[in-house]
A = this chain, B = another copy of it.
Amino acid sequence: MAKKGLLLGLMSLFIAGCSDDSAFGPGQWLDLTHDFSSDTVYWPTSDPFTMTVVHEGVTDKGFYYAAYKFCAAEHGGTHIDAPIHFAEGRRTVDRIPLAQLVGPAVRIDVTEQALKNRDYQVGVADLENWEARYGKIPASGIVLLHTGYGRYWPDRVKYLGTDKRGEEGVAGLHFPGLHPEAAAWLAVNRNIRAAGIDTASIDYGQSQTFDSHVILMSRDIPAFENVANLDKMPPTGAQVIALPMKIRGGSGGPLRIIAYIR
């Protein structure tokens, strides 16, 4: 069984086309994640990301050693909103099933509409137009809304609409999001796994009641926010893997989201 088993396993993985050169077949990985640093965009009311040196350099025992520590709000940078973020009693970030964080990518391109209108909300018509061209959004789909605002990261004025902090900053938020009607359509009619966007929030910047969050999360559908590199994604055919930091009881957290493109 030994060597033969391993060979068969590797061969089936190769045929499967399930990872990279050797195991996932022909294709390439794309990182949909912005990195975390003092430049990282957070909500105007959030603390910024901070990092502190623990050690950097050669120790008295003669080896090189570098280590840091950091502080972060859950909901900044490329991150996930767990259902409990806006839906009491729903899943915390550590309880989201892995199978819900992996699936075929559906990239909806609304750059033309959204770049002309900072307050654009992706509507049911945008979703229907996508389906007319590419087919029905699968129930296992991870829907990624490409507004084009990712190109402005991390320039707060262009990306968020403001670089003001606190409540003055919140009042000045102007960036596109998902219309609550379209959120309901995706949740109820298509039963998607997750929704992502290349802006700071799945609800548009001027939302006061975060209805799209409530609609998705009350149905245990998480949201991925500040997603990067959506301009490099195909409309269909890619696989998304979105793995959040596993914070016990967390309402969200830093997300590493990648795609495999064949």
Contacts and interface: CB of A to CB of B under 8 A. Distances in A.
Contact of A86 (B24, B31, B65, B86): B65
A: interface residue count bin:
35 or more
Interface string A22-58: 1111000101011111010000001100010010001
A43 B28 CA distance: 36
A68 B46 CA distance: 10
A237 B33 CA distance: 29
A51 B247 contact: yes
A239 to B, nearest CB: 6
Nearest to A61: B209
B78 A69 contact: no
A157 interface: no
A116 interface: no
A115 to B, nearest CB: 25
Nearest to A76: B69
A132 to B, nearest CB: 8
Contacts of A185: none
B5 A236 contact: yes
B34 A24 contact: no
A102 B19 contact: yes
Contact of A36 (B6, B47, B248): B248
Contact of A29 (B65, B102, B262): B102
A134 interface: yes
A94 B34 CA distance: 10
Given A23-B140, A208-B61, A236-B9, A247 B70 contact: yes
Can you tell how many copies of this chain the complex includes? 2
A86 B64 contact: yes
Contacts of A188: none
A85 interface: yes
Nearest to A99: B20
Contact of A254 (B99, B102, B138, B245): B245
Interface of A: 2-3, 5-7, 9-10, 12-13, 15-25, 29, 31, 33-37, 39, 46-47, 51, 54, 58, 61-75, 78, 84-88, 94, 97-99, 102-104, 132-136, 138-140, 208-210, 214, 236-237, 239, 241, 243-254, 256, 258, 260, 262
27 contacts: A3-B134, A3-B135, A5-B134, A6-B136, A6-B237, A12-B17, A16-B18, A19-B102, A19-B239, A22-B103, A22-B138, A23-B239, A31-B246, A35-B248, A36-B246, A36-B247, A39-B248, A61-B209, A63-B210, A64-B86, A64-B87, A67-B73, A68-B249, A68-B251, A70-B71, A245-B254, A246-B254
